[in-house]
Chain A
Amino acid sequence: MSQYKTDYLDQLESEAIHIMREVAGQFEKPALLFSGGKDSITLVHLALKAFRPGKLPFPLVHIDTGHNFQEALDFRDELAEQLGERLIVRKVEDTIKARHLTEPKGKFASRNALQTYTLLDTIEEFKFDACIGGARRDEEKARAKERIFSVRDEFGQWDPKRQRPELWNTYNGRISKGENVRVFPISNWTELDIWNYIRREKIDLPSIYFSHDRKVLEHEGQLVAISDFIEVEPHDKVSVKRVRYRTVGDMTCTAAVESNASSIDDIIREIVATKTSERGETRIDDRVSEAAMEDRKKNGYF
């Protein structure tokens, strides 16, 4: 038996740090896409491990749909300030005005698709050549096929048929003018790995991840928070429930789960016992069609 043991979390952590350092080594203008959700908070934590005591070699970039949870926005601002790192925020609202985009209509009108425009404009504005994101392969089966270094054309499009072979731990970040790369350092982590790591590293999270009372309406078995961004109709069943969020996206397309979990340990217990996947339980936007994620990614979605 070897005395040099590594736990699986150590291996995942080391792999993610290695990937981030490859980004810093290979690109001129990288960025870290930060949403205030647990996955991107974990990314920031990993980036600190990769580059401290130096400054991060990339800014944190948030594409703000205007439909975010206030708790996540506050957390974002506090974290950036506490770390002394640069935070760039670009608003979907501004893109809609500048480009005369049409707001989606409907009960849960989501700006999810529109954020791709703002993201691509932001990449163009700052000439970012690599964007680090917190996507995981266990989330969805189109993601399960995506490389860690995922090359996008000038329209931000992912072409699953033109993916580069990715061997060993060798990442090819060479691109042509106009192309950019999306980089996913936590590709090989599962939801449970993230929570176990958050527990081990004592990483702070926005309060909405823990159980709290919230006014919600029930829609096809999902609990959607009452906010200015959704249409409440007279026949809707609105009630106050004890909930937490398993993922944090827009208020319009993220559903809450009923829960009394008030600590990380409680949450991990619930996740181990759950029978529904993270996206299946909480993302209204994936229910559109079987290939919803593949199609969004082909169009430049992150």
Chain B
Amino acid sequence: MDLLRFITAGSVDDGKSTLIGRLLYDSKSIMIDQLEAIEKQSKNKADGEIDLALLTDGLRAEREQGITIDVAYKYFATPKRKFIIADAPGHIQYTRNMVTGASNADLAIILIDARNGVVEQTRRHSIIASLLNIPHVVVAVNKMDLVNNSQDVYNNIVIDYAEVAKTLGLNDVTYIPISAINGANIVEKSEDFPWYEGASLLHILENVQVENDINHTDARFPVQFVIRPQTDALHDYRGYAGKISSGVYAKGDKVTVLPSGTTSAIKAIEVGGKEVKEAYAPQSVVLHLEDDIDISRGDIIVKTDNQPAVGNEIEVLLCWMDHKPLIPGNKYLLQLNSKTVRSVVKEITYKLDVNSLQQEAFPEKVGLNDVVKATIKTASPIAYDSYKKLRTNGGAILIDETSHVTVGACMIQ
């Protein structure tokens, strides 16, 4: 059994919560007491219908306003897979929440209302999926019952969306007609769409290939912690603890420690206290090197024949996440995996309109939810890859030094 993390993008109006409710309900992941609780709450509402959105809207403010504000994580499993849903709000004012939910997703479900077709929100969600490099996209054309399950309507939406996907370079897109409210094509394939040759949504989610999404070529190991028991029995024990973010490490491999550039070889690898010959992403391991060299948290151990870039000036696509504006010249902490360095945002080249991909050169103001291209200078060199190539070593956060809040997400170019 493996694991799929996916994000659902859309608003209540698109039937997003109904869709999630369906997946949970039909896969028997909603328990009776939870259902009773939302039935009770639904009665407090005017229309009296069971509102599946109440399952996901966990905060009082969300229930009061009938909107999703923050990312909620939901879980369900079938005999084939465990699923983690990041349920993110769809409105533009919560772009940062969608970016957050998208950062870990293997797959994005983009919901389209069959009556409206591809709209601004569809483009925005797709742009975010492409910015965050989500490997798989499922376009679910919902509310098909309201367009008489028309194949023509569906086909036209597919043609429209294919244009969007082409522009954005989304490679793996699957299309499916659904009616979430009736459960059509959600768990079982529906007879409402005899012209549709694909599988049900759950079947797609269960079968999309994700194991190849983990990079097993470019070995990167950010050191989190050095284990040194310093007891009599383990006097010389010095293990570098971390999670292999990509690639494979084997005993005897020649390695380079960055950013210093010191070289050594792997003496031993431990997984959960047991010695192994090789280990791979995403395992948490302890590495031992042949040479006694100075390595600490924030260093990254890579294979000598496959190294990331090392430098102190990076180009990034930056999603700004703070209520205070981004001011060029301000200093922030940049955290890339276990490495934290001081940095300064030097130049902002353009602002990206997340609805249209249009670029506004040298914008005067950068505020919450804006996505910009920027140059960042770091106080000391960092070892990084481009986000497009290696999501796990190309995504960094910016932290405000005074408030300590996470204010930006950087996709290194």
Contact = CB atoms under 8 A, between A and B. Distances in A.
A146 to B, nearest CB: 9
B244 to A, nearest CB: 9
Contacts of B75: 137-138, 188, 190
A69 to B, nearest CB: 23
Classify the interface of chain A: helix, strand, loop or mixed.
loop
B34 interface: yes
A276 B241 contact: no
Nearest to B321: A165
A104 interface: no
Contacts of A193: 82
A159 B115 CA distance: 39
B362 interface: no
B58 A14 contact: no
Nearest to A166: B100
B63 to A, nearest CB: 8
Interface stretch (B197-205, B300-308, B342-350, B396-404): B396-404
Interface in A131-182: 137-138, 140-145, 160-161, 163-170, 172, 174-176
Classify the interface of chain B: helix, strand, loop or mixed.
mixed
B224 A8 contact: no
B3 to A, nearest CB: 4
Interface stretch (A44-52, A109-117, A255-263): A44-52
A4 interface: yes
Interface in A262-300: 274-277, 280-281, 290-291, 294
Interface residues of A, number: 64
B175 interface: no
Interface in B80-131: 81-82, 84, 96-97, 99-100, 103-104
Contact of B229 (A10, A15, A54): A54
Interface of A: 1-2, 4-8, 10-15, 17-18, 21-22, 24-25, 48-55, 57, 137-138, 140-145, 160-161, 163-170, 172, 174-176, 187-188, 190, 192-193, 274-277, 280-281, 290-291, 294
Interface of B: 1-3, 31-34, 37, 41, 55-61, 63, 69-75, 77, 81-82, 84, 96-97, 99-100, 103-104, 211-212, 214, 216, 224-225, 227-229, 234, 237, 241-243, 245, 248, 272-273, 280-284, 297, 321, 333, 335-338, 391-392, 395-397, 399, 403-406, 409
